[in-house]
Amino acid sequence: MMADTGSEDVAVIGNTDQTPSELQNNIKNTMVEKGGTLLKGLEISVAEAEKRTGKNAVSIQETYTVYLIETRAVDNVSEVANPTPDSLWRRYSEFEIFRNYLLVTYPFVVVPPLPEKRAEFVWHKLSADNMDPDFVERRRVGLENFLLRVASHPVLSNDKIFYSFLTQFFVLCLLFYSRLKALNATFRVKNPDKRFAEMKHYGDELQSVISQLLRVRARVADRLYGVYKVHGNYGRVFSEWSAIEKEMGDGLQSAGHHMDAYAASIDDILEEEEHYADQLKEYLFYTEALRAVCRKHELCQFELEMAAQDLISKKQQREELATGTVRTFSLKGMTSKLFGQETPEQRETKLKTLETQIEEGEEMVKERTAECDEFVKNAWEDIERFREQKDRDLKEALISYAIMQISMCKKGIQVWNNAKECFSKM
Amino acid sequence: MSAGTPKSLPSSGQKSIQEICHPLSAEESILSPSPDLGNTISSTGEKDLSLPNGNAVDTSSPASSSSLLNRLQLDDDLDGETRDLFVTVDDPKKHVSTMETYITYRVSTKTTRTEFDLPEYSVRRRYQDFDWLRSKLEDSQPTHLIPPLPEKFVMKGVVDRFSEEFVETRRKALDKFLKRVADHPVLSFNEHFNVFLSAKDLNKRQGLALLSKMGESVKYVTGGYKLRARPIEFAAMGEYLDIFTQKLGTIDRIAQRIIKEQSEYLVELREYSPVYSSWASSEEELQEPLDGVAACMANCCSGLEELTEEMSEDFLPVLREYILYVESMKNVLKKRDQVQAEYETKLEAVAFREDRKTPVPTDVEKCQDRVECFNADLKADWDRWQNNKRQDFRQLLTGMADKNIQYYEKCLAAWESLIPLLQDKQEARADTN
């Protein structure tokens, strides 16, 4: 069940200035350059977040956050965006339903993930509370990123429901719950495509390694915070000491200020590092989508194998019936042996039914094979696309992480040089 | 040590104030006048005190000879090139005997002073010997601030007394101790110091009774006298020392805490490298960049390890040394108070005597003598100590800043070298597209 791809509307990746880091822009620019079928004519952003209170489905008062989706039509000729945006508020759970729709509708696509439902891999300062403003802000960025990824996807971007999700107020219902459930099941398959098996294994490894990395990062951040903050104590003691000194006083006092500055600098440093963690998290969640595609392949393959198996067994039955030999054990065969043979007429009817079933079975196998082949072709295309995107994005992430570290080192050198100057004037 | 039998100390019998020599002149060694400014004080009244230019010095009152000392000390400080005594501690060696195992250090001396028989000496000394020297100095020069030694006792289970780091830290502290003594215009001429530097075997049981006259007198001052009030300048010193020692303690705690936090940070940081390496092994395009990051992290770890070690070995011991220094200084201040108290009490007792015709008893005059000497010595030493303290802390804190800068520079270099590795591949791919 594929959505029609006849939409003419296209959305452009808007360079919104709400994004906190350079890298976010890099990724977006990359999406603009490399993404296949782009939607032009629409700028998308998740501009704001607001708290709301209301009664939920079971009439209990609750507080939740809504996010403002803004879209601006871009004039196709002049490529200038219409200044007044259309906007609509949606909450996180609506994004979830929309994503599930995509998962079910496009099973061969590695569907972009949503930002995390609950704060995980936190270090002590970062609140695990969903209402915390920092968490909300990072979620806002994550939701925007999600929409942009969908908008730059060659297949997903043409989905009509996507356009409606962005622009029209309606409530998405989860109609395809059972299909969703099916996505999570695993099947034992006799002849899986080797590439998919490898991909699934890769997905598992990537998930494991990124989880480890995020856990280490949280612990490292905790410790680093401690190191920097303790230096702030130097500020106070130098100040107190300078009070009893004559010539040494000024040098000590100013050095103390630099120690205070050093201690304060860690907050920004770790805030920036959160972006790197968010980029890793996106790919952590992407592994889920990757595995889902591989599982869908298994499902297809399974159904094909079932159909083929069924066909084989029916053919065997026909043969047995025709030749009268019982090659396979069947209860019916046994009972007929025990309770007497069938009449030739009965046999005739049976054969006829089997023949029809075999015909249908052969059709089924053909269909399923075609489905499988179609699926494998589309899925592998998207997996290739995903792989290239992942390599690009993660390399960018590593570069920006290195740049962050460089900046942190330079700040450290500067502060200590300043302190050294003060000390030398003591 | 000059030849000649040790003279007995001049008795503190009935002598007029004019005849009482400056306590320092009671030093055993014949201190002949040397060309440098450091010493023109002669011994036991046999030679007159004379200034370098040959003029006789009025030694009729201790006060004036003290002020002479002050002038001389100041000049000594200004003119570093007139240093004529150089001492070094190095070459630690382990000695194993049936009874014990211990470390000895080589103490090398180069000098042009005539108090020494030879221009150069090289002897081996162990910590006990340094300890002996210090207590001898304290006893014989109670009016002076004696530099501290590194801590005597180390918990056997906790610290390895024979580890390279411990021995090196101790050697540096012992070296500093001797250098401080050698730089001191009075202490460096102490007989015990001379023996320490020059004698082949330091037989402490000889019990060289080489106390200065001052030393003798201070030794026997009982603590039974109550001081009315510390003079302002010494009260100020006391207050300063109290606050200073407090701040030093705080800094020590902060430094220790930082080292602890950094060590824990290091433990976690070390986890990064293997994870990145493991990730690299499951990637193709990203393998090189990820391996690069793993290597980078490893470099940063070793840099951090270095920083923590250096702070432990270089920063903390010096801080602790100063805390010990301040403790011993506070004791000197207390001794000074006692000397003053004795004087004041005796003076008061005399004031109540009705018979005004008898002259002021000698022992009261001697007390006054002692007080004034002590005060003068202490003041001079205080100024000198403040100066040295300033230099020492400037050096210590600049050193701390330097170590941190080095650490960040090492990390910076590692990360910067990674960037071209990451970006080249990016550009190469862009080209092939």
Tell me how far apart the alpha carbons of residues B62 and B373 are, in angstroms, rounded to a whole number: 7
Return the minimum-mean-pLDDT range out of A184-193, A207-216, A249-258, B421-430: B421-430
> Cβ of A247 and B289 within 8 Å?
no
End-to-end Cα separation, chain A, in angstroms:
78
Q: Could you give the CA distance from residue A68 to residue A91 in angstroms, rounded to a whole number?
A: 9
With a pLDDT cut of 70, the percent of chain A lying above it is 79
Fill in the DSSP letter of residue A74: B
Give the C-alpha separation, A163 to B239, whole Å: 78
Select from A393, A398, A403, A415 the residue whose CB has the most chain B CBs within 10 Å, as the one to mutate to test that interface: A398
In this prediction, residue A120 carries a pLDDT of 85
pLDDT band at A82 (very low <50, low <70, confident <90, very high): low
Provide the shortest C-alpha distance from residue B308 to chain A (in Å).
12
- Is the Cβ pair B408, A413 closer than 8 Å? yes
DSSP state of B61: S
Identity at B417, one-letter amino acid code: S
Interchain pair B286, A391: CB under 8 A: yes
- Range of weakest confidence among A47-61, A117-131, A134-148: A117-131
Determine the residue of chain A that is closest to B277 in CA distance.
Answer: A209
Within an 8 Å CB–CB cutoff, is residue B425 touching chain A? yes
Residue pair A51/A79 in contact by the 8 Å Cβ criterion: no
Distance CA A83, CA A74 (A): 9
Closest CA to A197 of A64, A298, A316: A298
Is B181 in a helix, a strand, or coil? helix
Contact B258 A213 (CB under 8 A): no
Q: What does residue B86 show for φ and ψ, rounded to 5 degrees?
A: -120, 130
Mutation choice for B interface testing from A217, A252, A276, A399 by most B CBs within 10 A = A399
Q: Which residue has the tokens 């990730």?
A: B279
pLDDT at A177 over 80: no
Which two structure tokens, joined as six digits, stand for B237? 């010193």
Distance in angstroms (rounded) separating the CA atoms of residues A180 and A193: 23
Read off the pLDDT band of A144 (50, 70, 90).
Answer: very high
Lookup: tokens for A83: 């200044």
Give pLDDT tens digits along chain B (433 positions).
Answer: 344 444 433 443 444 444 444 444 433 333 333 333 333 333 333 333 444 444 444 444 444 444 444 444 444 444 455 788 999 999 999 988 888 888 999 999 999 998 888 999 999 999 999 999 999 998 888 888 999 888 877 666 666 778 888 899 899 999 999 999 999 999 999 999 999 999 888 766 445 455 555 555 555 555 567 777 888 899 999 999 999 999 999 999 999 999 999 999 999 999 999 999 999 999 999 999 999 999 999 999 999 999 999 999 889 989 988 998 999 899 899 889 888 888 888 888 777 665 666 666 778 888 888 889 899 999 999 999 999 999 999 999 999 999 999 999 999 999 999 999 888 755 555 555 4
CA A166 to chain centre: 19
Sign of torsion over alpha carbons A159, A162, A163, A164: positive
Task: Compute the distance between CA of residue A242 and CA of residue B388 in angstroms, rounded to an integer.
Answer: 17
Strand, helix or coil at B56? Answer: strand
Distance from CA of A400 to the nearest CA of B (A): 9
What pLDDT, on a 0 to 100 scale, did the predictor assign at position A339? 58
Report yes or no: A71 and A43 within 8 Å, Cβ to Cβ: yes
Tell me which chain B residues have a C-beta less than 8 angstroms from the C-beta of A410: 408, 412
Note whether A68 and A83 are within 8 A (CB).
Answer: no
Q: Would you call A213 and B416 a contact, using CB atoms and an 8 Å cutoff? A: no
What is the pLDDT at residue A213?
96
- DSSP assignments along B76-114, one per residue: HHH-GGG--EEEEEEEEEEEE-SS-EEEEEEEEEEE--T
Q: Which of B102, B103, B121, B125 is nearest to B111 (CA)?
A: B121
Q: Please state the pTM of the whole predicted model.
A: 0.77
Q: Which 209-238 residues of chain A touch chain B by CB within 8 A?
A: 209-210, 212-213, 216, 219-220, 222-224, 226-227, 230-231, 233-234, 237
Which of A156, A48, A59, A25 has its CA nearest to residue A102? A156
Tell whether B411 lies on the interface with A, counting CB pairs under 8 A: yes
Comparison of pLDDT for B22 and A10, the residue scoring more: B22
Cβ-contact A228, A263 below 8 angstroms = yes
- In DSSP terms, which residues pair with B95 in a beta bridge? B102
- Closest CA of chain A from B167, distance in Å: 29
| Whether A202 contacts chain B with CB within 8 A | yes
Closest CA to A279 of A101, A38, A30: A30
**Residue B190 tokens, joined:** 């102490």
What whole-number distance in Å separates Cα of residue B352 and Cα of residue B358?
A: 13
Q: Is B402 on the interface with A (CB under 8 A)?
A: yes
Asked whether the predicted pLDDT for residue A115 surpasses 90, the reply is yes
Q: What is the pLDDT of residues A321-374, one digit of tens each?
A: 877 765 556 666 666 665 556 677 888 888 888 899 999 999 999 999 999 999
**A79 Ramachandran zone, left/alpha/beta (phi>0; psi -120 to 50):** left
Q: Is A36 on the interface with B (CB under 8 A)?
A: no
Cross-chain residue pair B254–A423, CB shorter than 8 Å:
no
A143 within 8 A of A137, measured Cβ to Cβ: no
3-state SS class at A53: strand
Look at chain A and count its residues.
Answer: 426
What confidence score (pLDDT) does residue A84 get? Answer: 75
Whether the CB of A404 is below 8 Å from some CB of chain B: the reply is no
A411 — pLDDT class (breaks 50, 70, 90): very high
Domains by residue range for chain A, with CATH:
36-73+84-182 (3.30.1520.10), 193-325+353-425 (1.20.1270.60)
Please name the residues in contact with A332: beta carbons below 8 A apart, sequence gap of 6 or more: none
| Pairwise CA distance, residues A82 & B270, whole Å | 52
| A227-265 exposure pattern, b = at least 16 Cβ within 10 A, e = fewer | bbebbbbbbebbbbbbebbeebbebbbbbbebbbbbbeb
Which residues 305-364 of B have a C-beta within 8 angstroms of A?
none
Burial classification of residue B49, based on how many CB atoms lie within 10 Å of its CB (0-12 exposed, 13-18 middle, 19 or more buried):
buried
Interface check B419 vs A, CB under 8 A: yes
Q: Which residue of A has its CA nearest to B262?
A: A227
- Please tell me what DSSP assigns to residue A256: H
The pLDDT assigned to A61 comes to 87
Structure confidence at residue B366 (pLDDT): 84
